Structure 1
Amino acid sequence: MEPEKILNISVDCVVFGYDITTKSLNVLVIKRFLEAEGKVLVDDYVLTGYHVYKQETLDQTATRVLKELTGLTGQYKKQFKAFGNPDRLTNEKDIIWIKNEEFNLRTITIAYYFLLKTEDVDVNKNKYQAKWFPVNNLPELGFDHKKIIEEAYEDLKIKCLSEPIIFKLLPDKFTINEAQDLYQSILGIEIDNRNFRRKLINKKYIIALDEKQVGVSKKPAQLYMFSLDLYEKMFKKNYLINI
């Protein structure tokens, strides 16, 4: 038997993914398409979201959303805001979609964001026609999902300076330049190379490895790793790095 839904409460998930090759912070969205009698009524993109089941916590719903979209579990997630304006679903295309899907026009959504690497999601085999878009170059979005993404992004900018969450977006072994590129991609600013390097390698929880890059055309760079155990032992709350 299908679980019973709470018809006016949903969870929407902003999935951030970092592409280390293009140095781009991206958002994963899915295709929303509807046609009738040969006429296209809706053709845009939306975040992935579902109604909350009555026996679920909000966190469980968010975890379910991500698993159904990507097949992944155990990723970093944060609940950051509820969106409940009465007019949040009243765009003409949204009303058409809502009538077709038969869900509540006055739906309140609890928004989460997840952090993962773009390479961990095979979009070519995704049944939802999921696609990555740069966070600063989004397609036409349905509902109030552009606003939700923008607010998630602002929260991520603040969070990445106070907690070591960027390492969820990097390989387990990374170079200082790769860490700097990621910070620059998230914050949208240029960071002084020398100053950044000095601050990062002086952190005791950034461990220098006896390894260097392989398969690169230029001089291979030193590899590092982030030690969560050391970080948690040393700090209850501390700014990871001051830009």
Structure 2
Amino acid sequence: MQTEIIPNISVDCVIFGFDKNSKSLNVLLIERFLKLEDSEVPAVNDYVLRGFHTFENETIDDTANRVLKELTGLEHLYKKQFKVFGDPNRLKNEKDIIWAQNEHFNRRTITIAYYVLLPTDAFQLENNPYKPKWFPVNQLPELGFDHQKIINEAYADLKEKVLYKPIVFELLADKFTIKELQDTFEAILGVEIDNRNFRRKLITKKYIIALDEKQTGVSKKPSQLYMFSKDVYQKIYKESYLINI
């Protein structure tokens, strides 16, 4: 028996990924393409966030987890529900209306938005049926629906929360250098951070553990590796800034 969807409730996921090679914060998007039978020119050709309607037997979190698993193959990702988007004019552009009609979507759809954090190399894009692509957060292509607004608000929330919650570590590998951690903060906040001051403050944090390991496979002098201890953090947790800029 096919599971029924709730036609006017959906979930959209803003997936942020940090690329340590380009030192950029990126958003994962999928192509939205539609060519009608009576036209050689695509009626719709842009990018959107990955989302889907909620099934009748699901919670909203279940829907988000399903969408993320289908797209990335990953489970137990960090995700934060940050806002509901229910403007009655969300689908106001002609291409959005055409798409909704073709997909039999309800034009009065309310979406619950999440943002997700992971390193860009956490999964492979090749052979992914959704053909996802990473774009720098400040260099996004043309977007469908109100997804530019959703991304903007997710990014604003991320920039605020990263200053007093340890969510930055979700964007890094389990083992990282202090420079990679600094690069991640700089990519999110869009500012340059004094290197020596940052290092001095961060290495005093008891939940940032120095490992008896260094980088491998690098041409320059390998740097010390560190890890974030969630257990230690929770024991000493205080609502205070990780860094002061």
TM-score normalised by L of structure 2: 0.96
Greater displacement, 132-141 / 34-43: 34-43
User: Which one-letter code corresponds to 1:10 in the other structure?
Assistant: S
Partner of 1:34 in structure 2? 34
For 1:189, which of 179, 188, 191 is the aligned residue? 191
Partner of 1:198 in structure 2? 200
For 2:103, which of 96, 101, 104 is the aligned residue? 101
| CA deviation profile, 1:77-106 (whole Å, cap 9, x unmatched) | 000000111111111100000010111111
Secondary structure at 2:32 match in 1: strand
Q: Distance in 1 between matches of 2:121 and 2:138?
A: 20
Q: Distance in 2 between matches of 1:212 and 1:102?
A: 54
Greater displacement, 140-149 / 122-131: 122-131
The CA RMSD measured in Å over matched residues stands at: 1.0
User: Which one-letter code corresponds to 1:86 in the other structure?
Assistant: P
Once the 2 structures are TM-superposed, how far is the Cα of residue 241 of structure 1 from its aligned partner? 2.4
Partner of 1:144 in structure 2? 146
Q: Distance in 2 between matches of 1:222 and 1:40?
A: 51
| CA deviation profile, 1:174-223 (whole Å, cap 9, x unmatched) | 11111000000000000011110011001011111122112212111111
Q: Distance in 1 between matches of 2:203 and 2:109?
A: 47
User: Which one-letter code corresponds to 1:15 in the other structure?
Assistant: I
Partner of 2:126 in structure 1? 124
Partner of 1:48 in structure 2? 50
Q: Which residues of structure 2 form unaligned runs of 5+? A: none
Partner of 2:174 in structure 1? 172
Q: Distance in 1 between matches of 2:62 and 2:132?
A: 21
Once the 2 structures are TM-superposed, how far is the Cα of residue 5 of structure 1 from its aligned partner? 1.0
User: Which one-letter code corresponds to 2:33 in the other structure?
Assistant: F
Greater displacement, 112-121 / 184-193: 112-121
Partner of 2:83 in structure 1? 81
| CA deviation profile, 1:153-186 (whole Å, cap 9, x unmatched) | 0101111111111111111111111100000000
Once the 2 structures are TM-superposed, how far is the Cα of residue 50 of structure 1 from its aligned partner? 0.6
Q: Distance in 2 between matches of 1:105 and 1:54?
A: 19
Q: Which residues of structure 1 form unaligned runs of 5+? A: none
Partner of 1:22 in structure 2? 22
Partner of 1:237 in structure 2? 239
Partner of 1:11 in structure 2? 11
Query: Structure 1 residue runs of 4+, over 2 Å off?
Result: 236-243
Once the 2 structures are TM-superposed, how far is the Cα of residue 237 of structure 1 from its aligned partner? 3.3
Secondary structure at 2:63 match in 1: helix
Q: Distance in 2 between matches of 1:46 and 1:212?
A: 39
| CA deviation profile, 1:102-139 (whole Å, cap 9, x unmatched) | 11111010000111111122212111111110000001
Q: Distance in 2 between matches of 1:120 and 1:204?
A: 26
User: Which one-letter code corresponds to 1:24 in the other structure?
Assistant: S
Q: Distance in 1 between matches of 2:200 and 2:45?
A: 48
User: Which one-letter code corresponds to 1:108 in the other structure?
Assistant: I
**Count, aligned residues:** 243
User: Which one-letter code corresponds to 2:202 in the other structure?
Assistant: L
Between the aligned residues of both structures, percent identity stands at 68
Q: Distance in 1 between matches of 2:240 and 2:232?
A: 13
Once the 2 structures are TM-superposed, how far is the Cα of residue 240 of structure 1 from its aligned partner? 2.4
User: Which one-letter code corresponds to 1:159 in the other structure?
Assistant: K
